[in-house]
Amino acid sequence: MFELTDRVAVITGAASGIGAATARIYAEAGADVVLAWYPPDGHDVEPVRQAVEAAGRRAVVEAVDVTSTEDVDRLLARAIEEFGRVDIVVANAGIARKVALEDLDDAAWLKVLDVDLNGAWRCFRAALPHMQKAGFGRLIATSSVAGTVSGWPEHSHYAAAKAGLVGLVKSLAVEFAADGVTANAVAPGVIRTPQALDPVNSLGPDGIEASAKKVPSGRVGEPEDIGYVYQFLASTESAYLTGQLLVVDGARSLAGLD
């Protein structure tokens, strides 16, 4: 079930967190992976590449700024050059910046939207012609509980971008269903990633531990918790699931505000 044998996946934000876990899980399920990473972030993509190859699959590494159409088009062209196809795109690259609304100028607002929302749109746009030609495609966006089922103070630009991803996948799901392409978004809750561990722009270690007490299961999520959901969404078995937002937060959003 949910095997990805000989599929080709492009994953942005692949050097850490959810992207890195998804790359490893996809390789273990049989997929070759194009690892898109952003070197200024400071994360090392090499262990991810090694993990993919240790699973017996091919890994291609490409430095990409998802705010650049040229970079994104080059990424998809590289995937086609190396593998001849693109079956799955996981638009996972994202940033969070803590800014109170009174300090949120146009540049700060647009920067987060350009990475978190427009970056996914650029990736999907570049991949869709290849998926249409093949009659198969899986578009997956990393959204968030922030902006979809809850708010996040001092992160209105982040929440707006993550909410926008839901509208994007719903529209693409309808437009490209006849081509065998599905489009879905996942809204992770608090996941133990480098971004969430950032004490300046996100929760930090103390905030994560405090959040764990509010989750019915008593823990925050791990990147693999999302990666396995992405495995299902990439599989042939998910063919009838499209245009949806899947909330993966350990039922935190259902448990009230205590």
Token pair of 42 as six digits: 């400071």
Cβ–Cβ < 8 Å for 188, 211: no
CA distance 105 to 176: 36
Distances (CA, A) of 126 to 18, 89, 146, 176, 226: 22, 10, 27, 14, 24
DSSP 82-150: HHS---EEEE---------GGG--HHHHHHHHHHHTHHHHHHHHHHHHHHHHHT-EEEEEE--SBTTTB
β pairing state of 181-188 and 245-248: parallel
The residue whose two tokens read 């291609």 is 60
38 assigned to active site: no
Strands (E), 154-256: 181-188, 245-248
DSSP tag of 7: -
Q: Which of 26, 38, 158, 230 is catalytic?
A: 158
CA distance 37 to 23: 12
Token pair of 167 as six digits: 């509208």
Residue 183 bridge partners (DSSP): 139
- Which of the residues are catalytic? 158
